[in-house]
Amino acid sequence: MTNSTFPGLDAYLDSEGGPVERALERAVVTLEQCEAPLEPEVLGAIRHGVMGGGKRLRPILFASAYEACGGEAKEASYDLAASLEMIHAYSLMHDDLPCMDDAALRRGRATTHRVHGEEVTIRAGAALIPAAALQALDASGRLGCERVQCLILVRTLMAAAGAGGMVGGQWMDLLGEGLALGTEDLDALHRMKTGALLTASLEMGALAADADKDTRDALRMYGQATGLAFQIADDVLDATASPETLGKNPSDADLDKSTYVALYGLEEARRRARDQVDIAVSALNVAGIDSPALLALSRYVVERSK
Amino acid sequence: MTNSTFPGLDAYLDSEGGPVERALERAVVTLEQCEAPLEPEVLGAIRHGVMGGGKRLRPILFASAYEACGGEAKEASYDLAASLEMIHAYSLMHDDLPCMDDAALRRGRATTHRVHGEEVTIRAGAALIPAAALQALDASGRLGCERVQCLILVRTLMAAAGAGGMVGGQWMDLLGEGLALGTEDLDALHRMKTGALLTASLEMGALAADADKDTRDALRMYGQATGLAFQIADDVLDATASPETLGKNPSDADLDKSTYVALYGLEEARRRARDQVDIAVSALNVAGIDSPALLALSRYVVERSK
């Protein structure tokens, strides 16, 4: 896709959103219709958590990276992209639990545990992890990936889902409540929390398209910088937007967590987010990756209103 | 291993227990020392849950199947076996949570959430799932398995950990509280709950040793029957043994769940457990699998005292 054919970000998000939703629907139906299905209540909570809308940023980043790297089976690639959103859904379902953030609202509607109860939500969230691994294995096989690629893809997904990835970051997050973290701690926290799965999205898109190592490295750098920009922008939004606009409540600020805004003030936080976008864009340029979609997505994460 | 060299079950369990514990210790240390480690509290809960003793039945079944199928790198195979116990540890940690069984005691000591808190235990349990996937990927690679075998191994592990496996069974278990389940429901429940991971242990041992399809099928049948026997024996123990002997409390009977003993009475339940052992043994015989260890293990599950 070159600049001349890029339809603009809104149209791009619309056109990508449809196939992502359909792939997620197929993934949920696969769980519902498998030979020995989960209990109906757990399946209901999975459907609530996975099909609850959202930006679908991770699968869309995957699809954009896949296309930028010359991947030719884009329609089939969305099933692989869906595995990333399944992990994201698990992390949100567990994050919102009463013993974690105790959130009542997510994307403008009741959180999964408020609808399906705490125990069902813990089970459903945990069940999404092996389900995502199986989804990645099946989808990468159907996509015609070599076996070694399938192995690296599922390894990348599981590494992002586990140790040192989101879970580590979530914990630093909870521990950081009420503590004034230093700048380096905060950067590390955010790189881990948001960055691991965002970065995995880009790495997996590149891997699935069989990109060379330089391209994969550039997309990893783009992912890390974009992930950090995303988190700083989240802090800015939490400090400036209304719960109605955000569709969630309480914000990190309410919970007295260390945020970029608390540490640096609003303007400096905004500047740091833009710096990260510059780093992301320059990683693409240096590697000669011509992707108006990835350029627009990186800008979008700091300019979005929710 | 032929009958003439089998040392007897107690000596066998002792001799297998050592390398299993060492492999689990290596797995936990790998998590503790990785580049971007989990938060120390979560690692503490993982260590508590994984290194808390127990029969280690799943890794020992894996090792026995691996050896019975002619696997030659037994020492290295324990790292693959460890991935099964990591999934088992996750399921126990979540099962014992306040909103699930609310168990205070497991194997004679405080449950993980009683020591490390509910939120840390939820995180630690969930983190064990991707950690087990990575453990299986790494260990099968080091074991020299072909890539296609590595893929099938991680698929088998994740399928047992997820949909239709343990999670499904645990849910039927909770739903069954206070309900009189029919015999078929109870069989299905128990096959799923205990059977999925036990059966995966045998399948993975056979796969890692590159066994032919007939052998793998026979070991799957052995695993399903042994798993069912194990669960019936658990019901019998819950109805007859003291909490001190069992090292756990409350029993399923306290929670008014449907059990084989409640449905059939003690003697009939015992008879049905022995029937399953006969099925397991005959599956081995028909396939010509000469494994005194597997024979002894199948008998052990119904004769054990805790």
In A, minimum Cα distance to B121 occurs at A99
**pTM, two decimal places:** 0.90
Is the CB of residue B129 less than 8 Å away from at least one CB of chain A? yes
Q: What is the nearest CA distance from B127 to chain A, expressed in angstroms?
A: 5
DSSP character string of chain B: --GGG---HHHHHHHHHHHHHHHHHHHHHHHHHSSSPPPHHHHHHHHHHHSS----HHHHHHHHHHHHTT-S-HHHHHHHHHHHHHHHHHHHHHHTSTTTT--SEETTEE-HHHHH-HHHHHHHHHHHHHHHHHHHHHHHHHTT--HHHHHHHHHHHHHHHSTTTHHHHHHHHHHHTTS---HHHHHHHHIIIIIHHHHHHHHHHHHHTT--HHHHHHHHHHHHHHHHHHHHHHHHHHHHS-HHHHT-BS-TTTTT---HHHHH-HHHHHHHHHHHHHHHHHHHHHTT---HHHHHHHHHHHH---
Binary contact (B163, A90; C-beta < 8 A): no
In chain A, which residues have their Cβ closer than 8 Å to the Cβ of B170?
123
In chain A, which residues have their Cβ closer than 8 Å to the Cβ of B140?
none
pLDDT tens for each residue of chain A, 306 residues long: 444 578 899 999 999 999 999 999 999 999 999 877 788 889 999 999 999 988 899 999 999 999 999 999 999 999 999 999 999 999 999 999 999 889 999 989 999 999 999 999 999 999 999 999 999 999 999 999 999 999 999 999 999 998 554 554 544 554 455 455 566 666 666 556 667 899 999 999 999 999 999 999 999 999 989 988 988 888 888 888 776 666 666 455 455 566 778 878 889 989 999 999 999 999 999 999 999 999 999 999 888 776
- Rounded CA-CA distance A31/A43 in Å is 8
Q: What is the nearest CA distance from A40 to chain B, expressed in angstroms?
A: 9
Domains and CATH numbers, chain B: 3-303 (1.10.600.10)
C-beta atoms surrounding B249 within 10 Å: 14
In chain B, which residues have their Cβ closer than 8 Å to the Cβ of A34?
163-164
**What's the ipTM?**
0.89
- Rounded CA-CA distance A227/B252 in Å is 46
Q: Is B281 exposed, middle or buried (0-12, 13-18, 19+ CB in 10 A)?
A: middle
